[in-house]
Each structure stands twice: as structure tokens, then as C-alpha cells.
Amino acid sequence: MGKGKVGFSVMALLVILGLILGSSSASSDDRRQRWRKTMLSGEMMSSMMLNRIGSSIVFPLHGNVYPIGYYNVTLNIGQPSRPYFLDIDTGSDLTWLQCDAPCRQCTEAPHPLYRPSNNLVICKDPICASLQPPGEHNCQDPEQCDYEVEYADGGSSLGVLVKDVFLLNCTNGKRLNPLLALGCGYDQFPGRDHHPIDGILGLGRGISSIPSQLSSQGLVQNVIGHCLSGRGGGFLFFGEDIYDSSRVAWTPMSRELSKYYSPGFAELIFNGKSTGIINLLAVFDSGSSYTYLNSRAYEGLLFSLKRELSGKPLGETPDQTLPLCWKGKKPFKSIRDVKKYFKTFALSFISGGRTKTKFEFSPEAYLIISSKGNACLGILNGTEVGLRDLNVIGDISMQDRLVVYNNEKQVIGWVAANCDRLPKSKISFF
């Protein structure tokens, strides 16, 4: 949830929780049941209409890689509806808000804590089961589902699953108000470089993610995409009627790492030539500000970069922003001032067992200019932070590209795009 954060969540053992979300009278139960029926009826009507004419949902994004350290979206949730800022995370499934249930430990947040409805997700719900370790789906109370998620940066959230109304505006002008499951997090532990945020928007492949839930209700296709502007902001979308598929470079999602958005194994290419470094298992993670390579690839990249920089008017310099930075004769104002010294590298993926799809890293996709005017490498050693051999493509490397995760067709795609304005048609942002 902050600069350098890696968004991957890991399953934690089910803990014994004692949260009681209050009691209600029989009359309030009756009113709530009538309200649920009304909501479900509205969902069915919306589903029938959307299946007939199709639509997408587009969300403006705020934030940047540096100096803010993350991109967030505003979602309106609850009855009455209130806005919340959520860190977008394709590396995890569960959406959760810091929650006054009451809160045992919450971190600084931009809005008042979320107040849950009394609509608990029961233990036997498939969404509850999907968040538990395999073979350990046991609940102390069958009428509620406790959860705990941990992130690779050391952060965590513990709470209970509830359902509440999300207010969503479609590109066809329709407004949806589906009832979706989310986490009421009443015990949070901040990770490294924590930033104030209301919660996490889980965009992963699991059934608990918001896009998966919307798809299961027939409201939108299970297709997710984002366009992160290098100047800050951008947009997130659900559905596939706003981009031209023929313009996108596609590669199949990996079967080896089915939990995450992975195009599989890659070869590291530097300046158009093979480095001999192969079998790099890569994933896309919008919850990570920077890109992480395993030790072998990271050291190989550093070797190639430093060899190319030999004799250039740049010198390594200490900078608290990132581990490796370079300075010039005078402070750099933008990447344009320094990009001529740095080469493009790429991860080359085998697509369909035949052709190779390359994800290229131009200097803009791996450098930032620090507040001191130094050029700093936004590629970090993932092995040193506990990612082992996993290679993470983070926000810095996805800027000014449309990245699409098509769960319907099990493919990932990317294309250069204008991320500075919301799309109005399939071609308006290319």
C-alpha cells in the first residue's frame, strides 16, 4: 500500500475470531430481507440488459509511481453510499476496507472507517472457502466467515467478510448497485513504506475478486484492464468494449502459476540481444510500485546496464529514494535528460509454443528522477525481499500502456496507449 509495496497476498491460517457485528430485531431482519430481494431483483434486470447490449465500467485513477508510490481508485460503497480510496491490486483477490466493527488496530486513513451492514458472509459460502488454505475450511461460527490476508511487504489485514452495495456507473449510461462481498478489516498491520489508504481493491483471478463477483452475477465480462499514466493518474476498467483487441499484443496466462496474472516463463533480452538468462517466471502486479527481478536476472541486468554506461558522463551516487542512482553534471529534470544513455531491455515470452511476445522496458519503464535530480533504477532485487525466483512487473514498467487481463479467454495483453484521458471508444486512447 505504498512505495515499493508488492501486492501479492498469501493465505494465512484461519484464526479464532470473536467479532460480533451486533444484533437486530425480527422486524429489522424482515426489512433487511425485503431490501435484499429488491437489490437482487435490480441485479437481475441489470444483468439481462447488459447481456443484451454489453457494457464496461471505467474508473479514474489517482496517484503515481513517484513520489506518491501507488495508484488508487475511488469506490462508493454502502447504504448510504460513502467514498473510499482503494489501492488497486491485481496481485490479490480480496477487497477490504478498514472497518469500525469496532476497529482493534487500524492505520491512518483518508476517510472515516467503514461501518458494515449486518449482512455477514456465511462460512459455507464459496467465497469464504476460496480465502482459506486448502483443506482447512473451518469456522468457529457457521454464520460468519473470518479472514486473514498477508502481503509480501509484511502488511496484513484481519477481519470478517460482509456484503454491501457498490455503486457503479457503466459506459452505456446504466447505474448498477450490486451486493458484493468484501472484507471488514478491523485489525491491520502496515507493511513497508505504508501510505494512508482506506483499503485494497483485489483484482486477482480468484472468485472473491470484485470483477469475478460482477461476472458471476452477469453484470460485466470478467475482463480487467488499467492504463497508468507516467504523468500521474490514468484509468481502470472492467469489461472489454472499450479497447480494440486487434491492436493488443496477447500472450496466454500461465498454467504453472494459475493464482496470479502470469504470462509464464521469459528470457531476458538486453538491447535486442539475449543475455542467456532464461526461465524467468513473471507476473503482473499493479499493487507493486516497482519491478522486481530475481537475483540472477537482477545481477545480469546491472552488469549490462553498467557496461553500457561505461565512459558516459554519469556517476553512481547515494540517494535515499532507491538503492541504485546516477547523477550527471547537473540535476536531471526528467527522463528525457538521461534516456539517451540507457538501453531498452525486454522479457520475451513464448506464446502458444511458437511465437515470442516481448514486453519491452524503455528507460521510461525502469527509471525515475528523484527529488535530488538523480536518475534511479526502479528495478529491485526480488530475492532479497522474499519473492524467491518470482519476477514482478510493477507499476513503473506498465506506465503509458493499456494492460488487459482477459479472464474469459485466459490471455494477458498490452499496447502503448494515452492514459491521460478516459476512453470514450475503442480507439480514443491509442
Catalytic residues, which ones? 89, 285
- Strands 9-11 and 57-64 turn out to be unpaired
Q: State how far the Cα of 313 lies from the Cα of 165, in Å rounded to an integer.
A: 57
Sign of the dihedral through C-alpha 237, 242, 248, 250: positive
Give the max Cα distance, the chain.
79
AA letter at 430: F
Q: How many CA atoms lie within 13 Å of 127's alpha carbon, on the beta-carbon side?
A: 24
Q: State how far the Cα of 111 lies from the Cα of 72, in Å rounded to an integer.
A: 14
Chain-centre distance for alpha carbon 141: 31
- Using CA atoms of 170, 174, 179, 181 in order, give the dihedral in degrees to the nearest 10: 0
- Strands 57-64 and 70-77 turn out to be antiparallel
Q: State how far the Cα of 379 lies from the Cα of 61, in Å rounded to an integer.
A: 23
- Of the candidates 11, 183, 10, the residue with the CA atom closest to the CA atom of residue 86: 183
- Strands 391-393 and 280-284 turn out to be parallel
